[in-house]
Structure 1
């Protein structure tokens, strides 16, 4: 087995040299680890990502193939791999184009960016599911809502006891219409966190990053990601413009609210190492009152 380790800057530079002539170790700067891979800036125009394990390698290779399938079809830019292969035996890497913009966690998404996200949701629904699954994108059944609600209700008590949650918000946990049947499966990014949305200076979506968690399944998951990233009110507005019905975005809000409660509860109990300020911000966004909540939740 290959030893568990991070590649060094010189190794990343060697990987990049064929695609980026003249690049050297001094041009390689670490970005950080992202779950099952680590990333580096390579000069001003590229990003290198190296998988840290065999499972992560499979997901990274699948992502490269998926981006080739959907590039030009998503309505927003996605990274393009200019070189890929293995950085160590069985450990995948890709050298990607660097896209314009900064994280949606650092820059708000205005109307122009919302219009881009509408196009993203519309176009993902039009990607043939069979084409995505042929690349190894896994199908995923819709999550069990009653079970999520039970866990979230218990989490709400624990989080409220720590002063991290306003119990008066609890009626918003059950969103009317969220129990409606889910729509047929589509291609789903499945991790539309703010860090994966790049926003340009003029407010456009400059890129959607990290497709390693993509599945075919419940499109409400991507609307739930937007509720966590840009707020419940904006997420409903985007979903409505993308043609989602009330049942779909009601389900999305309920998913987002369950997730933000359980994640914050896990963090407070030491079961997760996500930054507390980020989890608090995501909870506030997902729990914004919307017209779906009615007078009780408003």
Structure 2
């Protein structure tokens, strides 16, 4: 009989009074810190704490496991990647089995509001190289999930159907869909699995006023898997053309770049169709922007 613990069910975010008390316990050396909720994002209960910190609370057992793993991951990659990642300055449980962490607040604006410049593209290339440079033993010690590559043929069929529906709604021309390319349907074999951020999107990329990438947020979904997944995240964040430049600078193969851009294109078409037809509640302007960036070029 399995002795596995029962996963903790989701709970509601705590009230502000509880958050303020928690901040006082986690940061006893600080005083009179302003505590207010963060609007962007939404996967965690997240609060600004003064000008220098961010408090993140997990709301179920699985999220708690991922957050504890994320804290270890960020520490492990720090010597290898040229972009900033938040540093945990205090951590604990805010409720039984539910983790929380106070992270350093990184400078910069979301890539959804500020474009990544040429030097910022170099920062992203350095990040991809750095993730591949992490020693296998260090990656294994993190206990990250291992994910196989997604099959592109089924995704393509779903994207074709989605684009036809979007065209009928006036959301996207059916001409977006390129000619069938059997050579791009499956990853080259053998595919080397690598450490991935696995959730690269504009709100997780912080950009300085000079267009540099000053930080990458939210590593909780990191896995070991298909390198094309991070390429796909960049394509919907900074556009397909910029992503191609980044992948070339990072030393990724053209096949991985092509596969990643296709993943982004298929995913954005499917997600936008789901939103238009009421099966998704993501912001419509964001999904439109992501589709345009992934399909440009």
Could you state the TM-score of these two structures normalised by the residue count of structure 1? 0.91
User: Which runs of 4 or more aligned residues in structure 1 lie more than 6 Å from their structure 2 counterparts after TM superposition?
Assistant: none
174 and 39 in structure 1: CA distance in 2 versus 1, 3 angstrom threshold: farther
Shift in Å, 1:128: 2.9
Contact (CA 8 Å) 2:40, 2:203: kept in 1 or not?
A: no
CA distance in 2, matches of 1:140, 1:192: 16
Residue of structure 1 aligned with 2:199, choices 180, 183, 191: 191
Once the two structures are superposed, the pairs formed by residues 232-251 of structure 1 within 5 Å of their partners are 232-251=240-259
178 and 204 in structure 1: CA distance in 2 versus 1, 3 angstrom threshold: farther
Residue of structure 2 aligned with 1:121, choices 128, 132, 137: 128
Question: Do residues 171 (structure 1) and 178 (structure 2) align?
Answer: yes
CA distance in 2, matches of 1:122, 1:72: 12
Provide the secondary structure at the position in 2 that maps to 1:72: coil
Aligned residue pairs: how many?
Answer: 288
Question: Do residues 252 (structure 1) and 260 (structure 2) align?
Answer: yes
Name the counterpart of 1:15.
22
178 and 118 in structure 1: CA distance in 2 versus 1, 3 angstrom threshold: farther
CA distance in 1, matches of 2:35, 2:292: 37
Could you state the TM-score of these two structures normalised by the residue count of structure 2? 0.91
1:161-201 per-residue CA deviation (whole Å, 9 max, x = no partner) reads: 11111112211675964534163011000111000000011
Name the counterpart of 2:99.
92
145 and 3 in structure 1: CA distance in 2 versus 1, 3 angstrom threshold: closer
Contact (CA 8 Å) 1:23, 1:43: kept in 2 or not?
A: no
Contact (CA 8 Å) 1:188, 1:222: kept in 2 or not?
A: yes
Name the counterpart of 2:239.
231
83 and 287 in structure 1: CA distance in 2 versus 1, 3 angstrom threshold: same
Unaligned runs of 5+ in 1: 290-298
C-alpha RMSD of the superposition: 1.9
Name the counterpart of 2:277.
269
Unaligned runs of 5+ in 2: 1-7
Question: Do residues 284 (structure 1) and 286 (structure 2) align?
Answer: no
153 and 284 in structure 1: CA distance in 2 versus 1, 3 angstrom threshold: same
Deviates most, 176-185 or 268-277:
176-185
Name the counterpart of 1:40.
47
1:128-184 per-residue CA deviation (whole Å, 9 max, x = no partner) reads: 344233222101000111111121111111111111111122116759645341630
CA distance in 2, matches of 1:186, 1:218: 7
